[in-house]
Structure formats: C-alpha cells, structure tokens
Chain A
Amino acid sequence: MKRRTFFKVTTTLAATLMAGAAFAQDNIIVGAVAPKTGPLAGGAAVTHWPNIKLWVDEVNARGGLNVGGEQRMLEVIEYDDQTNPAETIKAVQRLATQDNADIILAPYSTGLNIAAAPIFDRLGFPQITSSAATDQIGELSGQFNDMFFLLGRSTDLAEDAVEVLSDLREAGEIGNRVAMVNVADAFGIELMAVAKPAVEAAGFELVYETSYPLGTQDLSPIMKAVKGADPDAFVAWSYPPDTFGLTEQAMIEELDVKAFYTAVATAFPAFAGRFGAAAEGVMGIGGVNTASPEFMDYAARHEAATGAKPDYWASGMMYASLQILEEAIETTGTLDMAEVTQFIKDNAFETVMGTIDFDDQNSNTAYWTVGQWQGGEFKGIKETGRDGAVEPILKTGWE
C-alpha cells in the first residue's frame, strides 16, 4: 500500500515535472542586451531595463502572449554589453544561436543599435530601436530593412531646439546672443554639427562655443566662460553626468539666461529630483504629452511595477516598441520574424506615445523634439506631428 502511494506520488511528481518541462519549452524566449555597466549604464537603467520588466510582468500576468491561439509565457534572457559594441554583437549572436531566443529586443543608444544592425539583419530579427537618434535613417533602413526608428532624426532634434529660441526672439522675449557647448562624443558632435549652422542661419550671434571630453569632472571653467560671454540663451548638447554638472554650475555662477537647454537626462525624473524648483523652465531634448491619458496610465504602471517613474522622452518610446512587437506577434499569430517584420511595416499601432505609423524608411515621423520643465513635469513644447505641445516659458532665475 505504502509502496503504491509512493509510486503514485512519484509518478504524479514526474508527470508534473515533465509537464513543467514541456511548459518551459513553450515559453517564448525574449533576448535582451543593453548596458548594465559602462558609460551608458545609468541611462539604460532609467530608460531601457525597467520597460522590459514592466512589459514582461504585464504580459505574463495576462497569461502570456497569444501566438496562433496558444497562450505562451515570456521568459527573458538578459546580457550586459558593458556599453561595448563588440559585446552587443556577441550577445545578439549568442541569444540567437545558443539561447534560441524567439525575439531579440533592440539594444540601447544610437551607437550600440547601429553596431548591432548587421547582426540583427543577418539573423532576420526586427530591430525596433527606441533610443537611437540619427540622421542616417535612410541609409540604415535601406541596407538593413528590418531596422525601425522611433526616436527620430538628430537634425530635427537640434533644429527644433534652435527654432524654439528663434520663436522666443521673434516674440521679443530673448536677445540675440547664444552660447553653445557639446560633449566630445558621437552624439554631442553630431548635434553640434547640425545646431551650429542652424543657429547662424537663424541670425543668432554665437558668443561662445566649445566642446569638452566625456567624463569631465570640473565644468566650472566652461560655465565661467559662458557667463563671461553674457549670452541670452544657453544650449548644451550634453550627456547625463554633464547635464547635471552644467546645470549645477549654472546655478552656482547664477547664469542669468532666459532660455537654458541641456540635452540627454534633462527629461529624467532624477533631474527634477535633484534640482527641485530650480529645474522650472529648463529645456531639454525630448518631451511627451504629459496630459495624455495613455501616457499617464503608462507612467503609473511603470512606477508601480519598477518603483521608478519613466523618463519624459525615450522611456515611452521603449515601451511603445514592445507594444508594437506584441501586437505584431499576436495579430499575425506567429513567431516567424519575417512575417512579423512585414506586419510592422504595413500597419499603424496605437501606443502609449500615440499612433505610430512607419514611413517607407521604417521611420516614425511624428515625435517630440524639445521639452521643458513646467510645474514639476517635463512637457513637450516642440514636435514633428504630435498633439499636446504646450507653450514654452522663460527661465527666471535658479531659486
């Protein structure tokens, strides 16, 4: 009797285990590679990784993705590329060949996405980039036709910032003197190269310009020189540590400009967290429609699932890229990536950032370019076809 019970128990156990194993095999393997260490790790920790967690948690709470009538749970395999393009490529390869990933998510940042484009293309995975801002969209999508772009062109991002300044000048709010600096890194150099001629074409006087190396520990000489040049507007094509550093130095030097713009990380919740009321009126790259119910709902879910607020620029786009992938897989009912890619090309998608419809260069043409801290939120003030832009305000001191 006892022996029989034991037998029963073991067989049930074995059956459960086998069912479990079969169940595990049925999981959809989601490959994710992005920086967890290295210079871009801080940005990825805000914008990239939390959205993957949020999406996977939500999908699994619903019972998984519906693939051809079958509910399948998501299982994520994460790799740290150390902000090193060679590691990104290796990890994508490994995900495809050793981990047998069904989906591979696009990596983080412009540089790492461009580096990974050939391997995504060769393996046949769609690469829906949400943190790559580049002017090479045409060439890239021509060469790698399963590469998609959500964040927009760097030209628009830079030119729109200049346009905001022009508008303020036309309205008689600010003067003609602009000081502009950039971080000596691919991003800063590219945007400076666009913004400088735009500033000059708009008839502004460029009273101070310089570049500084990534990781500069003391930005006070730069801010002293900026102050010495007595500008009406300050623009910095900066990366996170220097965005914080330049803003703090501007406070210390009591830089009295009516328009103050810093680039990446201005849209991070940590920016307002650090500078509080002094952040009011600071402009930066990105922005969202903070009044849209979809975004507000997304922001609340993001905070509940990850304990942190999303940023006001690429976070929503990252989540949108996952929504697009989800809809494409569920509607086509397949994990055949060629079919999924074609579906993404042919259809428009409702996302937390609004409707996204890729053009014939696989590019989302409607996106936010400039935002501004107003009343504790980073609101979009300039876009290329999104609703909900608010009027810019002037920067009045640092109190």
Chain B
Amino acid sequence: MDILITGLILGGTYALIALGLNLQYGVSRIMNLANGEMLVIGAFAAFTLFTVGQVSPLLTIFLVAPLAYVLNWLIYRIMLRPLVKRAKNRGMLEVDAILTTFGLSFVMVGLMIWAFGGDYFSYSYLARPITVFGDNYGLNRVVAFVCAAILCAALFLWLNVSRAGMAIRAVAVSPENARLVGIDVPKLSARAFALGGAVTAVGGAVISTFLTLDASTGVMFTMKALIIVIMGGVGDVRGTILAALVLGVGETFVASVIDPGLTLVAAYALFILILLFRPQGFFGRKPT
C-alpha cells in the first residue's frame, strides 16, 4: 500500500513532466528537446515569486500558464513554423525539429544563467507530513499529485468532449486527412505546441516545491519526458498518464523492495520492454 501510494505520487510528478511534451510531439510533431528548460523556467518563476513576495506556487501557475502559452506560441511561429513549411515529410521535420530545439535548449540555459545565475532554486513549501492510511507523505508531493490529476482530467475531457479537442486529436492521428475535413492544421499545431509548453511550465512550478533545480537541470527532465511519451504512445494522453504511473510505481517498487541503486535500471528496462513488445505505446493500435 505504502509502495503503491508513493509510486502513484511519483507517477503524478512524471505525468506533469511528460504531458506537455506529448502534446508538442503528438500533435505538432515537434520533438521538443528544450522541453526540460521550459519546465525549469516555470520552476524559476515559482521560486522567484515565492522568495521575493511569498506568493504561493499554486497561485503562480495561473500567471505562468498564460505567459508560457504566449512564449511557446512565439517559439513555434518564429522558429519552428519555417521548418514545418519546408519539411517534405515527417522524418525530415523530426530531424530538423530535434536539431533546432536541441540548440534552443542551450540558448535557454544560457539566458537563464545570464539572467538568474547558476545557483540552486531551493525553497521550502508545504514540506509537512500528511498521513494517509497510517503512513507519512510530503504534503507538497501530494498537492503536486492532485494538480497532476486535475490537469490530466481537464486535458483528457477537453480533448475528448470539445470540438477543438477533437480537431487536435484529428491532427494527432493524421495531419493530411485532418486538412481534408477543414481543420486548420498550422493554426492548431501552433496552439497545441503552446498549450504543451504551458502545461510543462505549470508542471515545473509545481515540481519546484519539492525538487531542487538549477538552470541546467532541464535535460534530466527532457530525458524522463521522452521515455514516458514514447512508452505511452505518441499523441495519446491516456497512454502518457498510464506510462507515468507505471514508471512511478515501478521505480518505487524497485527502490523499496530491491535497491534504490537500481531505479534507473528499472526505468530503462521497462522502457526497453515496451519498445520491444508494444512499440506503438500502451493504447496504440498495431500499424496495418
């Protein structure tokens, strides 16, 4: 029980890390390697507002979300749109996007160091125990889990119920055919990319309440997000959530029952198993 709850809470954190990338990669077809840096920017905003003005990170996210949306929309329009336009096929776009966003990640790290220095963003928020079924858990982690749950549910409902959400799913499944039914693919791609960035930055703000970050830790999160998105199936929110939870519970199980030194091994072993046996992701259909 203890392991399950700890694992689910960690899974919630992973969902926050990966959800944004899933939208960006699944819908806009941009494998955004600067995803982790966007997360660190969100974390930094939360840290700054908390240390300067005692603003709760849970309020900061309402500021971070629209700003990150606009910033990511601009990144897409200025940097990535030309790549989309000139790409002859999906493979070419992926290669170009990977190289461009890889470069972008360095630019962002450099700007953050220039602006804020390389010091750790470390503060204490809700670092209190909360007792669930007789065991102690960090209140900040539980809050992050609740945020993740709300975000996942909202995103899932929006994608499945609303018209815009349906259009986004259509683009995710097949950009070419989506155009045939009158969906403005470029516009929606930009929006999905911006939304993904906003989700990631919000995740960063929430995660900063319990993880110690610095300007150059972004790449660690990009790696985690990449694994989760690929495990869950590209462009599938359900899959990402499930993959995040599976990874969280798997890592916690290994750390608690076998050895904490093997958590990374467990994560990558799981990743390899899924690539071998379900390369299309948890819910993906086999290509015909």
* One of B122, B136, B137, B264 near A270 (C-beta < 8 A): B122
With A37-B113, A37-B118 given, is the CB distance from A211 to B211 under 8 Å? no
Instruction: Judge whether A215 and B120 touch: CB under 8 Å.
Output: no
Interface assignment of A36: CB less than 8 Å from any CB of chain B: yes
Interface presence of B123 (CB below 8 A) = yes
Interface residue? B279 (CB, 8 A): no
Is B129 a contact partner of A252 (Cβ separation < 8 A)?
Answer: yes
Give the shortest distance, in Å, between B256 (CB) and chain A (any CB).
Answer: 4
A220 touches B138 (CB 8 A): yes
Q: By the criterion CB–CB under 8 Å, are A275 and B109 in contact?
A: no
Q: Does A308 contact B (CB under 8 A)?
A: yes
Q: Which of A260-280 contact B (CB under 8 A)?
A: 265, 268, 270, 273-276
B109, B118, B135, B211: which contacts A217 (Cβ < 8 A)?
Answer: B211
Neighbour of B255 across the interface among A38, A46, A222, A245, CB < 8 A? A222
- Residues in B with CB closer than 8 Å to A38 are 216
Report which residue of B2, B117, B120 has the largest number of chain A beta carbons within 10 angstroms of its beta carbon. B120
Contact with B along A26-46 (1 / 0, CB 8 A): 000000000111110110111
Find chain B residues with CB under 8 A from A49 CB: 118
Given A215-B220, A218-B6, A253-B129, A41 and B118 touching (CB < 8 A)?
A: yes
Q: Which of B139, B212, B248 contacts A241 (CB 8 A)?
A: B212
Interface centre among A221, A222, A274 (most CB of B within 10 A): A221
In the bound complex, how far is the Cα of B224 from the Cα of A216, in angstroms? Answer: 11
Q: Which of B139, B216, B248, B261 contacts A37 (CB 8 A)?
A: B216
Contact A218 B216 (CB under 8 A): no
* With contact pairs A212-B261, A241-B211 given, residues A221 and B255 touching in the complex (Cβ less than 8 Å): yes
> Cβ of A213 and Cβ of B263 under 8 Å apart?
yes
Q: Determine whether the beta carbon of A276 is less than 8 Å from that of B124.
A: yes
Smallest CB separation, A230 vs chain B (Å):
15
Contact among B13, B109, B211 with A245 in the assembled complex (CB-CB below 8 Å): B211
Q: Digit string of A178-190 for contact with B (CB within 8 Å is 1, else 0)?
A: 0001001000000
A373 to chain B, nearest CB (A): 15
Which chain B residues border A210 with CB–CB below 8 Å?
259-261
Contact B119 A274 (CB under 8 A): no
Q: Which chain B residue lies CB-closest to A222?
A: B260
B128 within 8 A of partner (CB): yes
- The reply to whether A42 and B124 contact each other, CB–CB distance below 8 Å, is no
Q: Check if A45 sits within 8 Å of B117, measured CB to CB.
A: yes
Q: A45-B118, A217-B13, A220-B6 are in contact. Are A212 and B260 (CB under 8 A)?
A: yes
Chain B residues with CB below 8 A from A211, complex form:
260-261
Of the listed residues B135, B138, B213, the one surrounded by the most CB atoms of chain A closer than 10 A to its CB is B138
- Minimum CB–CB distance for B163 against chain A, Å: 37
Contact A45 B119, beta carbon cutoff 8 Å: yes
| A46 to B210 CA separation, bound complex (whole angstroms) | 20
Shortest A260–chain B CB gap in Å is 15
Out of B136, B213, B217, which one reaches A254, CB within 8 Å? B136
A240 x B212 contact (CB < 8 A) = yes
Most chain A CB within a 10 A radius of its CB, from B135, B210, B256: B210
CB distance from B110 to the nearest CB of A (A): 8
Q: Is the CB of A46 within 8 A of B119?
A: yes
Judge whether A18 is part of the interface by a CB distance below 8 angstroms.
no
Flag whether B10 is at the interface (Cβ < 8 A): yes
A248 and B119 contacting across the interface, CB-CB below 8 Å: no
Whether B205 is near chain A, meaning CB under 8 Å from some CB there, is no
Interface string of A42-60 (1 = CB under 8 A from B): 1011100100000000000
Chain A CB within 8 A of B153 CB: no
> Contact: A244 with B113, CB < 8 Å?
no
| Residues B118 and A36 in contact, CB atoms below 8 Å apart | yes
- Would A252 and B137 be within 8 Å (CB), given that A224-B256, A240-B212, A273-B122 are in contact? yes
Contact B6 A224 (CB under 8 A): yes
| Interface residue ranges of B104-139 to A (CB < 8 Å) | 109, 113, 117-120, 122-124, 127-129, 135-139
> With A217-B211, A220-B137, A253-B136 known to touch, is A44 a contact of B10 (CB < 8 Å)?
no
* Given known A248-B210, A253-B136, contact A37–B109 (CB-CB < 8 A): yes
Further contacts, 16 of them, CB under 8 A, given A212-B263, A273-B123: A36-B113, A37-B216, A41-B118, A41-B214, A45-B118, A45-B214, A210-B260, A217-B224, A218-B9, A220-B137, A220-B138, A224-B2, A245-B212, A253-B136, A274-B123, A308-B119
A-B pairs with the 6 shortest C-beta distances?
A45-B118, A221-B255, A42-B214, A37-B216, A212-B260, A41-B118
Which B residues lie at the A interface, using CB under 8 A? 2-3, 6, 9-10, 13, 109, 113, 117-120, 122-124, 127-129, 135-139, 141, 210-217, 220, 224, 248, 251-252, 255-256, 259-261, 263-264
Sample of 17 A–B contacts (CB below 8 Å): A36-B118, A38-B216, A41-B113, A45-B117, A45-B120, A210-B260, A212-B263, A213-B264, A217-B10, A218-B248, A218-B251, A218-B255, A241-B217, A248-B127, A251-B128, A252-B137, A308-B119
